[in-house]
Structures are given as C-alpha cells and as structure tokens.
Structure 1
Amino acid sequence: MRAVMLETPESLLEERRRTGADLFDEVWEGVLHMVPPPSVGHQRFGKRLLLVLTPIADARGLESNYETGVFRPSPGPLDYRTPDLVFARADRYSDRGVEGRAELVVEIRSRNDESYEKLPFYASLEIPEALVIDPITRAVELFANRAGAMEAVAPDSAGGVRSSVLEVTFARIDGPKLRIAWPDGVAEI
C-alpha cells in the first residue's frame, strides 16, 4: 500500500522513533519514505550474503555494513537511502552512515520496494556499482555507473555478472541459489 501525507504529524514521527518503526525509513530530497521491515527470509538471505562478502571486502580495504544509510553530503534537504548492504572505505563512514560515495551497494528485493528508483541517487553519488538481488528466485542484476547513470551489466555466457569492486562473480544457479565466486573460493547461498 502506498500513502501520501502532505504533512506528517509530529506525533506519528515520535511514535515511530519510540517504537523503532523508523529503523528502515529513508528521506529522499526531504521526503520521508516509511519502509516496512524486511521479511525473515529477506534478512536471512542478507545475513548470509554479508557473511560471505565481508572477508572479501576486508581484503580490499572496504568496510561492510547491513542497513546503513548512504547520505548526500550537501547543505540542501536531508537526502539518504538505506541499501541492505553497503561496502565503503572507512573514511566515508560517520556516526550516521556513509557520507557520499560508497563503493558498492546491495539492494535485496522486497515486494513493492523502490530498489530501482534508488539507482539514480546512487549514480549521482558516483557509487561505482549497485547489485540488485531477489532473495526468493536468486535472480541477480549488477548495475555499473557509466557517465553518471547506472547501467545494467550484461551477464557472461554462464549467466554471471562480475563486480569489479569486489572481484566477485554472482550467478543464479539451480536450487535456486546464488553462487558467489572469487579468486580464492566459491560459496552458494
């Protein structure tokens, strides 16, 4: 269900803060997007993906985080998105999240989500790559920032897409599962 409130009552915002319901909220150019919490399956898949990718990211000097805001560093209206996974250099992190450019963001799909609508924001922050994954079908799409726009990366002959940031290939395999292959190993989740 979508809802638009031209004025958001402070009591609603306070209730969301008090109960923790605002944990997944995002602000798009000053407009509040109240995002429902992810399903258990979504979180389980995200946790497994993070466990596989964290050592790979560490080896490349990147910090990995789950449900961390990526903020536009500007004096304008508050503007941030919260991808499921974020990989960024340590100097990009502040107490509130990633300030500006991350190296890779991962969006795990949920029903009626706004994963694809976030891509122009990520491109505007010069984030090199965005990965979009369906946690049920394990369909995976990689978008690369080319000339300020996120463009879909064509899969290779085996159906995989390769992240140049992590030097990892992602492919959907029978199961369905997501195969993650890197120079020193492989994992299937």
Structure 2
Amino acid sequence: MSGNQDDKNRIKEQSVTYEVYAAMPEDGYRYEIFDGELEMMSPGPSVVHQGIVGKLQFILRNTCHSEYTILIAPLDVILSPTNVVQPDLLMIHNTRLNLVTMRGVEGAPDLVVEIISPGSRSRDKVKKLRIYVQHGIPEYWIIDSESRVLEQYLLAGDHYELGNLFEGDDPVISDKLPCVSFIISDLFKDTVVQKLLSSN
C-alpha cells in the first residue's frame, strides 16, 4: 500500500478538521467535511451543471450585485472546524464581507445553492440540508435540472421549511433576498443546456 493511501486511510479513521483537510496533498479530487467525516465529491460537474450555475450567477449579478457578493465553487465554506462545504453558488450581503478570507468563506452565507447532479441527490437533500440548518443559513435553494424546478428552503428556527417550489414560467422571488427576481425557466435556456436536456 502506498504512503499516500496510508495517509488517506488515517484521515478517514480520525475526526477531520479544516486544518487536516487543508494540509492534505493535492490529489486532483474535491472533498467536503460533514461533522468531521471527509467525503469525496462527485466527479467534475457536467456541462448542464456548469451552464445552469453560470446562468444563475449572471442573473443574480445583474440584480443583486450592488447589495451582495456572489461566489461559485470551487470555494471552501468553513462553517466550523469540522464542517467544510463547497456549495455551487452562494451570496453574502456586502455588510458581512468580513466572512470572506484568503481561506474561503468563514461562516454562514445568506444564500447557498446546489445544482443536483446524478450522484449528489442524497448529499444535497439530506446531508447538506442538515448541515446548512445546523449553521443557520437563512435560505437554501436546490435546483434539479432534470425536472427543471427550484426548491426554496427557508430557515424556521431549528429546521427548514419548503417555502416554494418554482417551475416553468414561475417568477423566483425571496422575502429574505428582495433583489432576487427571475423566471425559473430562464436558467435552462442556455443553448448547450437546452440541447443536452432535450437529448435525454
């Protein structure tokens, strides 16, 4: 067994912190930490995934850039020493930019967004939802490219409530983020995204 594999096995056996994770040798993979457990992320995002993230970033920058900073993965969001995630997109109000450091984002953004990939459904809808609640992230969007819907989860005390389910030509709005205003179907109108989704 190689030394590198020995290192990985030891990491899996102990509670992983950000410091342990940051010191790991680069191996070409991306990882997240959930309650001290290191998890390898799915393979690189698909073209559809990238197209949707790019379109959403463009839309939000057009309407929210004066109030919010919009960032996309890969970027470490260090919610605690043992919870480090890489949401596909996040927004932070410009009055809270002290959260942005050279290491990434250290604290809870105002919005996190995940685009569901074939191998990420359970991670996004169960593990990440639980972690995001635990750290008090006010709003969480899950976008499903196959069904072309956006699930909007809003923090209500110690849990999330499904605030809305946007589909078709529904306008996406948010009471917590007044600058948000777009039609959900616009996310899927990128030429390449349309081509690939219609071929499935």
Matched residue SS, 2:113: strand
Aligned partner (choices 63, 72, 81) of residue 56 of structure 1: 63
What is the TM-score when the length of structure 1 is the normalising length?
0.73
Instruction: Point out where structure 1 has 5 or more consecutive residues left out of the alignment.
Output: 1-7, 180-187
Give runs of ≥4 in structure 1 deviating > 4 Å.
11-14, 158-161
Matched-pair contact (CA < 8 Å) for 1:141–1:161: no
Equivalent position of 2:72 in the other structure:
66
Equivalent position of 1:79 in the other structure:
83
Between Structure 1 and Structure 2, the one with more helix by share is 2
CA distance in 2, matches of 1:47, 1:31: 30
Equivalent position of 1:168 in the other structure:
180
Q: Which gives a bigger RCO, structure 1 or 2 (Cα 8 Å, sep 6+)?
A: 2
1:142–1:71 distance in 2 versus 1, CA, 3 Å:
same
Equivalent position of 1:101 in the other structure:
108
CA distance in 1, matches of 2:64, 2:137: 15
Q: Deviations over 1:81-102 (max 9, x none)?
A: 1110011131111222211210
CA distance in 1, matches of 2:165, 2:51: 26
CA distance in 2, matches of 1:18, 1:70: 18
Equivalent position of 1:184 in the other structure:
none
CA distance in 2, matches of 1:155, 1:139: 7
CA RMSD, Structure 1 to Structure 2 (Å): 2.8
Matched-pair contact (CA < 8 Å) for 1:56–1:166: no
Aligned partner (choices 32, 35, 40) of residue 47 of structure 2: 40
Matched residue SS, 2:114: strand
Equivalent position of 1:185 in the other structure:
none
